[in-house]
Structure 1
Amino acid sequence: MERNIAPVRLGVPPVANIRELDPSASPLDYYGSELRRFREVANLTQEQLGNIVFCTGSLIGQIENGRRVPARDFSERVDAALGTGGVFSRLVGLVLRSQLPAWFQAYAEMEAKAAYVSTFQAQLIYGLVQTEEYARAVLGVRGEGGVEAQVAARMERQRILDRENPPPMWVVMGEAVLHQEIGGREVMRKQLAHLLSLRKREWVRVQILPFEAGPHLGLDGTFTILRFEEGPDIVYTEDFVQGRLTANPQELREGCLRYDHLQAAALSVEDSAARIARVMEERYGQHPAPGGGALV
């Protein structure tokens, strides 16, 4: 519902429309209503707050009206500007998670609590190790709106890797993910460089299942195993419609058995890094252009 908070008078600029929010409707609406409340308590206009946090007053208005998803860095700047004690830095995680598909949110919550993550990916780079550009290209395939919010949500998931005690994560990926060009050569070059940089994180291990491995137990598709300090472990699988979580002991046993076989068939961590570097150079490196220059 739209309403003007003041009439337009001669010589007085019109006041922006205010959308009445129900704070209980969604995390995004709650965030917007709280931003408006804290701003008004500070006796600041949208334009004034925008100047302080290095954005436009229009952006402040869109977020307050629940029409724009806030970013984490924006939230941190607002906390500093309004002295909120980290309120918006805490809220933004809920907001971004709410941008994930409804069927995926349960998995994201479990992933954030996991003590150990092991995954096999057949066609795409695993979401927790994707670059922002690669994620944007993947999420933009359907041509639907809200891609930036979905990208921000995916980047938010990756924050578990920056914790003081992050969960150990073992990623096995089919070699096809290195060759399937997503977003163009520059995006792929940066993505593969990012995979190589993960070697600096001792709790992250990446293995490539090479083409020469032949038929393997991952041919049925991608799956992830989440282990917990308390509670049952779970297996997550996904199809083109939605995902499925299960703690069924028999299915968990089957998942673990398959994963063990895939790890054994994959290249070692060191040889996997060498394969990634080779594909990066041969497929996405600089190539001589017809005129003798570099075609990048």
Structure 2
Amino acid sequence: MTTGEVGARLGLSQAKVSRVETGSSGLRMRDVQAMLGLYRVPEPRAAEILDLVRQAAEPGWVQVHGRGLPEQWQTLIDWESRAVALRVHHGALVPGLLQTADYARAAIRDTSSITPGEPELDVKVAARLARQGILSRESPPSLHAIIGEPALRLPVGGHAVLSAQLRHLLEVVRRPHVVLQVVPETRGAHPGLEGPFLVMDLPQGRRVVHTEHRSRSLFLDDESEVAEHRRAWRRIEDLALSPRDSADLIAALC
């Protein structure tokens, strides 16, 4: 069925159906239920999807990572696709939105229990790279990334992979909607050492923070928790090199 045919059967506009299916619009339970019924989705799978819709509407909900399928990233992809601005900090690794395929593969393989050749690795690498599609949209969100200097020196995947990753960063920062800064090791301790985080600015002024750990992802939209992460971001930004000086440091390490 085309999106027009789906809309006609469910009493929805074609544009609405398209926004729901591409993840560029928020989901209403009754719309999802109607589409699941029309598509004859088996009951167990339909129940899983509806549960995700319910959870996504709740503040500060936790998603436990599964194996095999990158479902732990699907919600993140959905949030990122709606964002108008993204601010991400990682102290030890290049953030996923800026990783090359080889770097992503090495990072996922070497920081988890996945063995080389396991299908799960290919699936998770593909999922991570799929997130980067938002940066190539006609109207992409702004991206401000701050990374720690150790991320520029850690030979993830070997020195050749790291060198290619650094050159990729220099290409990405040429885009007008991307800003990249580096926090030098000489700055000492700062709030970013508590772990990586991503602040997503959504339409209508809403903000969601995402943090990821070994076995679970946490989405926070409580005002106090979002405010705490924004204060941490400002502190980290104050310690970071300017975008130009950051690019010069990256170039020197290529």
Q: Is the structural similarity TM-score above 0.5? A: yes
In percent, how many aligned pairs have the same letter?
33
For these two proteins, the number of residue pairs brought into alignment is 188
Question: Residue 145 of structure 2 aligns to a residue in which SS?
Answer: strand
- Given the alignment, which residue of 197, 217, 221 partners 2:195? 221
Aligned position for 2:163: 189
Query: RMSD of the alignment, in Å?
Result: 2.1
The higher-RCO structure (CA 8 Å, 6+ apart) is 2
**Partners of 2:70 and 2:123 within 8 A in 1:** no
Which amino acid is the alignment partner of residue 218 of structure 2?
R
Question: Residue 114 of structure 2 aligns to a residue in which SS?
Answer: coil
Which amino acid is the alignment partner of residue 268 of structure 1?
S
- Equivalents in 1 of 2:210, 2:125: separation in Å? 21
1:254 aligned onto 2:228:
yes
Residue 206 and residue 222 in structure 1: after superposition, are their counterparts in 2 closer, same or farther (change >3 A)?
same
- Given the alignment, which residue of 92, 116, 119 partners 1:123? 92
Question: Residue 273 of structure 1 aligns to a residue in which SS?
Answer: helix
TM-score normalised to structure 2 length: 0.69
Which amino acid is the alignment partner of residue 249 of structure 2?
R
Structure number, greater radius of gyration: 1
Which ranges in structure 2 are unaligned for 5 or more consecutive residues?
1-39, 43-66
Aligned position for 2:135: 161
Tell me by how many angstroms 1:128 deviates: 0.7
- Equivalents in 1 of 2:235, 2:218: separation in Å? 22
Aligned position for 1:94: none
Tell me by how many angstroms 1:277 deviates: 1.2
Question: Residue 163 of structure 2 aligns to a residue in which SS?
Answer: helix
**Partners of 2:201 and 2:207 within 8 A in 1:** yes
Deviations 1:21-56 (A, max 9, x none): xx846xxxxxxxxxxxxxxxxxxxxxxxxxxxxxxx
- Given the alignment, which residue of 229, 240, 252 partners 2:214? 240
Deviations 1:250-270 (A, max 9, x none): 011111111011111000000
Mapping 1:1-296, distance limit 5 Å: 24=41, 101-141=70-110, 142-144=113-115, 145-146=118-119, 147-230=121-204, 232-280=206-254
- Equivalents in 2 of 1:208, 1:100: separation in Å? 33
Tell me by how many angstroms 1:231 deviates: 6.0
**Partners of 1:225 and 1:235 within 8 A in 2:** yes
Tell me by how many angstroms 1:99 deviates: 6.8
Residue 199 and residue 229 in structure 1: after superposition, are their counterparts in 2 closer, same or farther (change >3 A)?
same
Aligned position for 1:12: none
Which ranges in structure 1 are unaligned for 5 or more consecutive residues?
1-22, 26-97, 281-296
Question: Residue 192 of structure 2 aligns to a residue in which SS?
Answer: coil
- Equivalents in 1 of 2:230, 2:176: separation in Å? 22
Which amino acid is the alignment partner of residue 80 of structure 2?
E
Deviations 1:84-106 (A, max 9, x none): xxxxxxxxxxxxxx975333322
**Partners of 2:149 and 2:183 within 8 A in 1:** yes
Tell me by how many angstroms 1:123 deviates: 1.4
Aligned position for 1:288: none
- Equivalents in 1 of 2:225, 2:71: separation in Å? 24
Residue 149 and residue 103 in structure 1: after superposition, are their counterparts in 2 closer, same or farther (change >3 A)?
closer
Question: Residue 218 of structure 1 aligns to a residue in which SS?
Answer: helix
- Equivalents in 2 of 1:100, 1:249: separation in Å? 32
- Equivalents in 2 of 1:236, 1:143: separation in Å? 23
**Partners of 1:114 and 1:167 within 8 A in 2:** yes
**Runs of at least 4 residues off by over 4 Å:** none
Greater percentage in helix: 2
Question: Residue 122 of structure 2 aligns to a residue in which SS?
Answer: helix
TM-score normalised to structure 1 length: 0.60
**Partners of 1:237 and 1:245 within 8 A in 2:** yes
- Equivalents in 2 of 1:177, 1:100: separation in Å? 27
Which amino acid is the alignment partner of residue 251 of structure 2?
A
